[in-house]
Amino acid sequence: MSIKKKISELPPCTEFSGLWTIGVDGSRRSVKVSLGYIKEVADGMVTATTAANTAAQNANTARQQIEANEQTRINNENARVQAETTRQTTWTDWFSDTLSTGVRKLWNDFWTNVNSSWNGFFGTSADDANGVRKIWSTWYTAVLSNWASFFGATSSEGVRGEWATLKSDAQSATTSANNAATLANSKAGLADDKAALAAAAATLAGEKATLANTAAGNANTQAGRAKEFADHPPMMGDNGNWWAWDEENDEYYDTGVLAKGGILYPSFEVDKETMHLKMNYQDEIAASMFSLDKATGHLYFNYK
């Protein structure tokens, strides 16, 4: 049995998620509609509307900035045009040839004054008696005349002729002096060579004297050694060896060399009864030349 309730008796719902309603689609079919999907679409429309409003506001702000920049550009262009106009006016006035302050007017006036002063100083022509050119040409003509009179018209006249004579005499005197100096230097060089040879001969004589003194000293030393060895000839010691003289320690020392001659080796024979080996020797030296190893029975020969 179904229970009927009024809508006012149903519990309230504050979320669209999971809620459905009924409707009719384009084909006039009954369908269920998700209220959650409708909310999602509505939220997307709100977000898109907010973004569109923000973009429109940003576009309006950009438009206002563009307009402000354009106005700034127009103001700057006007200022540039005004500055260019002022510059052209100043330039025209500066180079004016009619204004008293124009540089071309000032230059024309200056050059006119300079030209007038130039003509007054140098003369309007080379024959102007008051011009410096005429004064200079007159003076230069007089200088040439005086020069010819003083230095002569040719190299053998005037002061040039005198100078040529003095120069020739001076060159002759210089040549004679140089020849005398060369001769003196040559003689001085010969004297230096002779002095060097004498010094070398003296040095060689000193070296020979030193060698002679050294040789004499060595001869004396060898003569003293010869006398010492003659006074202390080799002698045979008590052990039968040669004893030689030690000149550094002033005493005889054993050379280890046997001093006796002849046959000093012993003779051997075997006792057939006892099978003993008997050694016969002439002196104690021969006896010391052999040794018997009692442990092995080996007989060793000790060469001297």
Q: Does the residue 54 lie in any domain?
A: yes
Burial 162-181 (b: 16+ CB within 10 A, else e): eeeeeeeeeeeeeeeeeeee
Helices 132-151 and 158-231: crossing angle in degrees, nearest 10, is: 60
Strands (E), the chain: 20-24, 30-34, 235-236, 241-246, 251-258, 267-271, 276-280, 290-293, 298-301
- The per-residue pLDDT string of the chain (304 residues; one tens digit each, 9 = 90 and over) reads 567 778 777 788 778 788 888 888 888 898 888 888 888 888 899 999 999 999 999 999 999 999 999 999 999 999 999 999 988 888 887 777 777 777 777 888 888 888 777 777 777 677 777 777 777 778 787 877 777 776 666 767 776 777 777 778 778 888 888 888 888 788 878 878 888 887 887 888 788 888 878 877 887 788 787 787 788 888 888 877 888 888 889 898 988 777 665 545 566 777 878 877 777 766 655 556 677 787 887 777 776 5
Distance CA 207, CA 197 (A): 15
One domain for residues 107 and 70:
no
In order of 136, 141, 160, the CA distances from 147 in angstroms are 16, 10, 11
* Chosen domain end from 57, 76, 95: 76
Contacts of 300 (CB under 8 A, 6+ apart): 290, 291, 292, 293
Decide: 20 and 30 in contact? Cβ < 8 Å.
Answer: no
Dihedral in degrees, nearest 10, Cα atoms 208, 213, 218, 221 = 170
Q: Does the residue 240 lie in any domain?
A: no
Q: Does the residue 232 lie in any domain?
A: no
Q: Which residue has the tokens 């001969």?
A: 201
Distance CA 17, CA 34 (A): 8
pTM exceeds cut of 0.75 = no
Q: Does the residue 297 lie in any domain?
A: no
Running DSSP on this structure, what letter comes out for residue 8? G
In order of 5, 40, 43, 78, 280, the CA distances from 18 in angstroms are 21, 12, 17, 69, 146
One domain for residues 110 and 146:
yes
Q: Does the residue 173 lie in any domain?
A: no
| Terminal CA-CA length for the chain | 154
Q: Which residue has the tokens 């040559």?
A: 186
* Chosen domain end from 76, 94, 112: 76
Exposed/middle/buried for residue 2 (C-beta within 10 Å: 0-12, 13-18, 19+): exposed
For residue 131, give its domain range: 103-151
* Torsions phi, psi for 256 (to 5 deg): 80, 5
**Chain centroid, CA 146 distance in Å:** 68
Q: What is the token pair recorded at 271?
A: 């006792």
Distance CA 133, CA 120 (A): 11
Residue 291: strand, helix, or coil: strand
Q: Does the residue 215 lie in any domain?
A: no
Residue 125: what pLDDT?
Answer: 72
Q: Does the residue 64 lie in any domain?
A: yes
Distance CA 243, CA 251 (A): 10
Q: Does the residue 253 lie in any domain?
A: no
* Chosen domain end from 151, 186, 208: 151
Total domain count, the chain: 2
